[in-house]
Amino acid sequence: MSLAGRKILLIVSGGIAAYKALELVRLLRAENVNVHAVLTRAGEKFISSLSLQALTESPVSTDLFSLDEESRMGHIALSRSADLLVVAPATANLLAKMAGGLADDLASTLLLATDKQVLVAPAMNVRMWLHPATRANLVSLTGRGVHVVGPDEGPMACNEYGPGRLAEPPAIVEAIRSLLGAGPLAGRRALVTSGPTHEPIDPVRYIANRSSGRQGHAIAAALAGLGARVTLVSGPVALPDPPGLTVRHVETAAEMLAACRAALPADIAVCAAAVADWRVAEEAGHKIKKEAGAAPPTLSLVPNPDILATLAAPGPARPRLVIGFAAETDDLRAHAEAKRRRKNCDWILANNVAAGSGVMGGEENEVLLVSEASVETWPRLPKEEVARRLAQRIAAVFAS
């Protein structure tokens, strides 16, 4: 679905990433979105209002007390006439002002006066992003329904590395599309599992694996980015909840299955979780102690339910498209094809998790997409890119 004719009020605050706002405007204008830009005083230090004006093909607002601007369109009207307010880049300072409800310039006043949804794309130094003050502001803002896209992780202009880079403009456009309900998966429901499961041995010990949840979380975010209503069922991970979707936190495979069942019906299910295949038959109710001279304890294991196979089993509750992963260390294609048939899923993304591949817990993935009709080899890509490609492929199924 197109964004043509939608109205966006774009607030550009001051940061080195402000130049990327120009690319964002270019992408939006290419889709015939009407963009009205507001440039903060600090933003003006990084890009000119003339550039913004040329690209938006509309006057740029900068001043709260401009009589001329106020006579053309009052700032309250400005904050209400848009379909969505987008802050890109959103500095730590502007986020703090939003969290505190300050209105000491045009940008913060518009953000306080609006009755529309707000999407922020934070960009700042990694320490500022990780500072407890910024974390608390984000919790407060997201709790009030403000949507967040990014920041990305990577090298920064200040020569540091970490989260804090402005999300790439195409990702911001996708977030806008999703918020405006205009993506190709609008109206579709998706269920995604992600991360490891923890299977308790006793109150302090558990069986786990190296899954980071990065691939599953990225898929959930990419599907939401195309407009799907996504429930992400996540095992224990160190990742933040992606904004704009429903997240269910679980520990064990049994809890994951129950959360998946509760999220049905769904049109799409993607099982990216590295579910423990076995759990301890009987979890000890107390910490197992070392007894002097005694043999180490023997753990007796029982199989866990197979969530993917359960979701993919024929029946009225089966999502139209069920996708699994196959983590293999050898004979990738043959194992993946056999697994797809055995679990009755439509597609399998097979990845090589052999020691040295760097895939499990890493940032990149190299997959085969196995369907009944074909096997495709994808190049080694960042997990976010694998997620975007997969989401596009899923959208193509629902477009046909």
**Residue 283 interacts with ligand CTP (CB under 6 A): yes or no:** no
Residues 172-201 that bind ligand CTP (CB under 6 A): 193
Burial tier of 134 (Cβ tally within 10 Å: 0-12, 13-18, 19+): buried
Residues 239-268 that bind ligand CTP (CB under 6 A): 253
Residues in CB range of 139: below 8 A, 6 or more apart:
none
**Residue 308 interacts with ligand CTP (CB under 6 A): yes or no:** yes
Catalytic, 158? Answer yes
Closer of 174 and 328 to ligand CTP (Cβ): 328
**Residue 326 interacts with ligand CTP (CB under 6 A): yes or no:** yes
Q: One-letter amino acid identity for 114?
A: T
**Residue 275 interacts with ligand CTP (CB under 6 A): yes or no:** yes
Window of 19-27, 61-69, 319-327, 361-369 that interacts with ligand CTP by CB under 6 A: 319-327
Residues 100-129 that bind ligand CTP (CB under 6 A): none
Interacting residue with ligand CTP among 174, 324, 369, 391 (CB under 6 A): 324
Phi, psi of 367 (to 5 degrees): -125, 160
**Residue 322 interacts with ligand CTP (CB under 6 A): yes or no:** no
Sheet architecture: strand order including 147-148: 34-39, 7-12, 84-90, 118-122, 147-148
Q: What are the b/e assignments for 201-216, b being 16+ CB within 10 Å?
A: beeebbbbbebbbbbb
Residues in CB range of 323: below 8 A, 6 or more apart:
268, 269, 270, 271, 345, 346, 347, 348, 349, 390, 394
Q: How far is CA 384 from the centre of its chain?
A: 9
**Residue 306 interacts with ligand CTP (CB under 6 A): yes or no:** yes
Interacting residue with ligand CTP among 119, 149, 273, 359 (CB under 6 A): 273
Window of 218-226, 241-249, 282-290, 300-308 that interacts with ligand CTP by CB under 6 A: 300-308
- The least distance separating ligand CTP from the CB of residue 188, rounded to whole angstroms, comes to 20
- Dihedral angle sign, alpha carbons of residues 34, 38, 42, 44: positive
Number of residues that bind ligand CTP (CB under 6 A): 14
Which residues in this chain contact ligand CTP in the complex, by CB under 6 A?
Answer: 193, 253, 271, 273, 275, 277, 304, 306-308, 324-327
- Active-site positions read 158
